[in-house]
Structure 1
Amino acid sequence: MSFAGRPEPSRYQVDSNRLTCLGLWGISIGRNKVGLIEACVGDLGRDLPSAERAHWLSFNEAPSGGLDEDRFRRDILGQWHDGPPNPLRSLATARQRFSTALARVVGQEIYRPWGAADKIAFDGLHMPTSSERQETDNQILTLAKGVIDYLDVKAIRNLPGADPKGTTINCIEAWVKKLDEDPVPLISPLRLLQGLRSTGVARARSKDWQATLVRAGLDTLQPDEQFVKVVGSSRESAEAPLSVTGPACPNRAGCVG
């Protein structure tokens, strides 16, 4: 079936193998290679409230794409199998480590506190269940908010080498350059995410949108595949400061404490 719950992140939480609703109920799920969500009939009868069943049935589709192999190995073959890492969970962890690394440098938090609605949306990020442009656009917009827009520019401007009137990304780039490090691994994914948002996701698309896709090698991919790539590059960007500051930032220019 196509997934029925993800448009409401304030109600539903989903990962690679389970869907829950406000702590009221939960059901084991899988996702196969073509993006269809699978659930066992017995689980639907046991774990899904009766009021939800007709809604779920309306999203039922004929089987295609085979079984979720990771779930088959765990649930049917009884094997110890973790499956591939969750890209969005890895991104959230990398974002926190990014925040900690830069806070060590400037002596204060570098992300502003979450707004309630934006926190719900960011926590509800998911891998698209279709190749429709609108779903991926919404995901990219939320991703850009969480990774870039919530950065506190006043804190970022305290980075050594930063322009006291500079933009967020430019200030981070100036700091990395001051450390004689290569800024590309950190800055390029941020500029890509910002570019996707500003040239098409948040406004009318122009020729700059296509140029952004081409430069990033995303122009030949479907929208859902583009999102997967953008999530991966954003995670890699968030991990880049760790190689600059080090685990404890010992004796490096630009560190505090």
Structure 2
Amino acid sequence: MKKLIITGAANGIGRATVELAILQGYFVIGADKDAEGLKVLQGLYGADVFEAHIADFSDMTVIKGFIPRLYERHASIYGLVNNAGIYHGKSVYAYSDEQIDEILTVNLKALVYLSKDFAEREMPHEAQRSIVNIASVAGEVGSCDALYGATKAAVIGLSKANAWNFAPFVRVNVVSPALIHETAIYGTIPEYRRAEYARQEVLKDPILPGGVAEVILLLLGDAMRHITGRVIPVDNGAYPR
């Protein structure tokens, strides 16, 4: 049974990815600061397929210790999904210094450390491994939340660089969602921005977390073994590249 780490596992895209990964036969290591959300997942899925870790990725001590502690229990892990993130949906002028530090840490620094720590331990196995990072269309076309957009643009750049850094054994790809319904941040997105997304979508079936999860699992799997360093949009065609 292949083992898979998913951060931000308790809700939204993360939870949908946990559920689909287990359905597809993965053993999932789920991390989130939402202890209650993890408890729900633990109740749905037994310890033979799901392992929960309460982790606040705004804390650098947690970030730096997370992967090393996992490898005290697991000899090898197949994949890493860097999904945990913060979105405030507000002007750059409204950010406090503390909030700036927090969003940079959760949305970017955590990915730097988790990715390199994972790759460092898996590359010696000389076997195919996979990292999928969750960015956003905001990292490609901009955002009303400048800090969010900046961090997601950085995630794309980091992913492309790490596709080189971790080759030939660890693939690194990016999923770039647009407007995702039924998530915690949906209501935080300003109404005018939601209307803009909806206006530009050429496919009209609303994007749900499960739809993004399907793309994540596809990128992780063997069918995409020749793909690395790519940004895969999940945006209903709203932003043709």
Find the structure with the greater CA-based Rg. 1
Smaller-chain TM-score bracket: under 0.3
The answer to which structure has the higher strand fraction is: 2
With normalisation by structure 1, the TM-score equals 0.26
